[in-house]
Amino acid sequence: MEALDIFTSASLWGAVLRIATPLIFGTLGALICERSGVLNLGIEGIMTLGAMVAWMTVYQGADLWTGLFVAAVCGGMFGLLHAFLTVPLGLSQHVTGLGITLFASSLTYYIYRLALPVSSSPPTIEPFQPLAIPGLSDIPFIGEALFSQTAPTYLAIFAIVVTAYVFTRTPLGLAIRMTGENPHAVEAQGLNPVRIRIGTIVVGSALMAMGGAFLTTATFNSFFPTMVQGRGWVCIALVVFASWRPGKALLGALLFALFDAYQLRLQHVIDNAIPYQLFLMVPYVLSIVALVIMSRRARVPQALMAPYRKGER
Amino acid sequence: MRLERRDNTPLVLMIAAPVVAVVIALALSGVLIALAGVNPLDAYYEMVKGAFGSRLSISETLTRTTPLILTGLAAAVAFRARLWNIGGEGQLYLGALVAAWLGHSLASVVPGPLAIVIILLAGMVAGALLLLGPVILRIRLGVDEVVTTLILNFIVLLFVSMMIEGPLKDPLAFGWPQSVPVDREVLLPKLLERSRLHIGLLVAIFAAVVVWVVQSRTVFGMETKAAGLNPKAASFAGIKLGKTLLAVACISGGLAGLAGAIEVTGLKGYVTLDLSPGYGYSGIVVAMLAGLNPIGVVITAVFVAIVFVGADSMSRALGVPSFIADVIVSISLLTMLVCLLFTSYRVRR
Amino acid sequence: MTLEPVLELTNITKRFGDLVANDSISLSLGKGELLALLGENGAGKTTLMNILFGHYTADTGDVRAFGQLLPPGKPRAAIEAGIGMVHQHFTLAGNLSVLDNIMIGTEGLGHLRTARREAETKLKTLSERFGLQVNPNAFVSELSVGERQRVEILKALYRDARVLILDEPTAVLTRIEADQLFETLRDMTASGLSVIFISHKLGEVMAASNRVVILRGGRTVAERQTAKTDRAELAELMVGRRVVRPVRTDQEPGRDILTAKNVSVLEGGRKILDTIGFRVRAGEILGIIGVSGNGQAALGQLTSGLLAADSGTLSYDGHETKGFSPHMLVRAGTGRIPEDRNTEGAVGEMAIWENSVLERIRESRFSGNGFVKRAACRNYADELIERFDIRGATPDTGTRQLSGGNMQKMILGRNLASSPNLIIANQPTRGLDEGAIAAVHGELLEARKAGAAVLLISEDLDEVLALSDTIQAIFKGRLSAAVPAAQAESRAIGLMMAGIWEGENAA
- Written as one string, the DSSP assignment of B221-234 is HHHHHHHHH-HHHH
Letter for the amino acid at C502?
Answer: E
SS (H, E, C) C269-282: CEEEEEEEEEEEEC
pLDDT at residue number A311: 56
Is the torsion defined by CA of C286, C359, B250, B225 positive or negative?
A: negative
pLDDT at residue number C165: 94
Q: Contact at 8 Å (CB) between C505 and C499? A: yes
Q: Contact at 8 Å (CB) between A258 and A312? A: no
The CATH topology of domain A18-115+143-294 is: ABC transporter involved in vitamin B12 uptake, BtuC (1.10.3470)
Q: Which residues contact B137 (CB under 8 A, 6 or more apart)?
A: A291, A292, A295, B143, B145, B148
Best probe of the C interface among A165, A167, A181, by most C CBs < 10 A, is A181
Question: How confident is residue B94, by pLDDT bands cut at 50, 70 and 90?
Answer: very high
CA nearest B238 in C: which residue?
C326
What does the alpha-carbon distance between residue B28 and residue C323 come to, in Å, rounded to a whole number?
59
pLDDT at residue number A19: 94
Q: Which residues of chain C have pLDDT under 70?
A: 1-2, 502-507
Q: What percent of chain B shows pLDDT beyond 90?
A: 84
Ordered DSSP codes for C314-373 = EEETTEEESB--HHHHHHHTEEEE-S-IIIII--TTSBHHHHHHGGGTTSTTTEETTEE-
SS3 C454: strand
Distance from CA of A50 to the nearest CA of C (A): 29
Ordered DSSP codes for C202-238 = HHHHHHH-SEEEEEETTEEEEEEEGGG--HHHHHHHH
Q: Does A117 touch chain B (CB under 8 A)?
A: yes
Q: Contact at 8 Å (CB) between C304 and C350? A: no
Is the CB of B236 less than 8 angstroms away from the CB of C354?
Answer: no
Q: Tell me phi and psi for residue B3, to 5 degrees.
A: -100, 140
This complex has an ipTM of 0.94
E strand intervals along chain B: 2-5, 345-348
Say how far residue B268 (Cα) sits from the centre of its chain. 17
Distance from CA of C326 to the nearest CA of A (A): 28
pLDDT tens readout for residues C445-504: 999 999 999 999 999 888 999 999 999 999 999 999 999 988 888 888 888 888 887 555
Q: Using alpha carbons, list the distances in angstroms from residue A9 to A1, A16, A131, A267.
A: 10, 11, 20, 15
pLDDT tens readout for residues B228-273: 999 999 999 999 999 999 999 999 999 999 999 999 999 999 999 9
Cβ count near C239 (within 10 Å): 18
pLDDT at residue number C89: 86
Is the CB of B3 less than 8 angstroms away from the CB of A114?
Answer: no
State the average pLDDT over residues A38-46.
97
Q: Contact at 8 Å (CB) between C136 and C99? A: yes
Q: Say yes or no to pLDDT of A313 above 70.
A: no
User: Residue A12's closest CA among A222, A3, A232?
Assistant: A3
Of A222-226, B300-304, C391-395, give the range with the top mean pLDDT: B300-304
What does the alpha-carbon distance between residue C368 and residue A232 come to, in Å, rounded to a whole number?
48
Is the torsion defined by CA of A157, A161, A164, A170 positive or negative?
A: negative
Q: In what order do the strands lie in the sheet with C219-225?
A: C83-86, C163-167, C194-199, C34-39, C211-216, C219-225
User: Residue B330's closest CA among A228, A71, A78?
Assistant: A78
Letter for the amino acid at A220?
Answer: F
SS3 A245: coil
Q: C: neighbours with 3+ CB pairs under 8 Å?
A: A, B
What does the alpha-carbon distance between residue A187 and residue C77 come to, in Å, rounded to a whole number?
12
Cβ count near C248 (within 10 Å): 18
**Which overall architecture, per CATH, does domain B2-348 show?**
Orthogonal Bundle (1.10)
Say how far residue A87 (Cα) sits from the centre of its chain. 22
Best probe of the A interface among B139, B161, B337, by most A CBs < 10 A, is B337
Is the CB of B334 less than 8 angstroms away from the CB of A41?
Answer: no
pLDDT at residue number A217: 95
Enumerate the residues of chain B whose CB falls inside 8 A of the CB of residue C336. 236
Enumerate the residues of chain C whose CB falls inside 8 A of the CB of residue B346. none
pLDDT at residue number C507: 45
pLDDT at residue number C106: 92
What does the alpha-carbon distance between residue C304 and residue C332 come to, in Å, rounded to a whole number?
12
Q: Contact at 8 Å (CB) between C225 and C35? A: no
Best probe of the C interface among B210, B214, B219, by most C CBs < 10 A, is B219
pLDDT at residue number C391: 85
Of C56, C155, C159, the CB nearest to A311: C56
Question: How confident is residue B72, by pLDDT bands cut at 50, 70 and 90?
Answer: very high
The strand pairing partners of C213, in sequence order, are C37, C223
Best probe of the C interface among B212, B218, B222, B344, by most C CBs < 10 A, is B222
What does the alpha-carbon distance between residue B232 and residue C483 come to, in Å, rounded to a whole number?
34
Q: Say yes or no to pLDDT of A96 above 60.
A: yes
State the average pLDDT over residues A245-251.
96
State the average pLDDT over residues A222-244.
93
Locate the domains of chain B by residue range. 2-348
pLDDT at residue number C2: 58
pLDDT tens readout for residues B308-349: 999 999 999 999 999 999 999 999 999 999 999 988 888 765
Q: Does B243 touch chain C (CB under 8 A)?
A: no
User: Residue C155's closest CA among C271, C267, C75?
Assistant: C75
Is the CB of C345 less than 8 angstroms away from the CB of B4?
Answer: no
Q: What is the pTM of this model?
A: 0.92
What does the alpha-carbon distance between residue B284 and residue C498 come to, in Å, rounded to a whole number?
55
E strand intervals along A124-247: none
SS3 C129: helix
Establish, for the pair of chains A and B, how many residue pairs have beta carbons separated by less than 8 Å. 127
Tell which wins on pLDDT, B6 or A253. A253
Is the CB of A188 less than 8 angstroms away from the CB of C85?
Answer: yes
Is the CB of A234 less than 8 angstroms away from the CB of B330?
Answer: no
What does the alpha-carbon distance between residue B38 and residue B21 come to, in Å, rounded to a whole number?
23
pLDDT at residue number C369: 94
State the average pLDDT over residues A238-256.
94
What does the alpha-carbon distance between residue A188 and residue C105 come to, in Å, rounded to a whole number?
9
Enumerate the residues of chain A whose CB falls inside 8 A of the CB of residue B148. 288, 291
- Domains for chain C: give ranges and CATH numbers: 5-239 (3.40.50.300), 251-333+418-507 (3.40.50.300), 346-417 (no CATH)
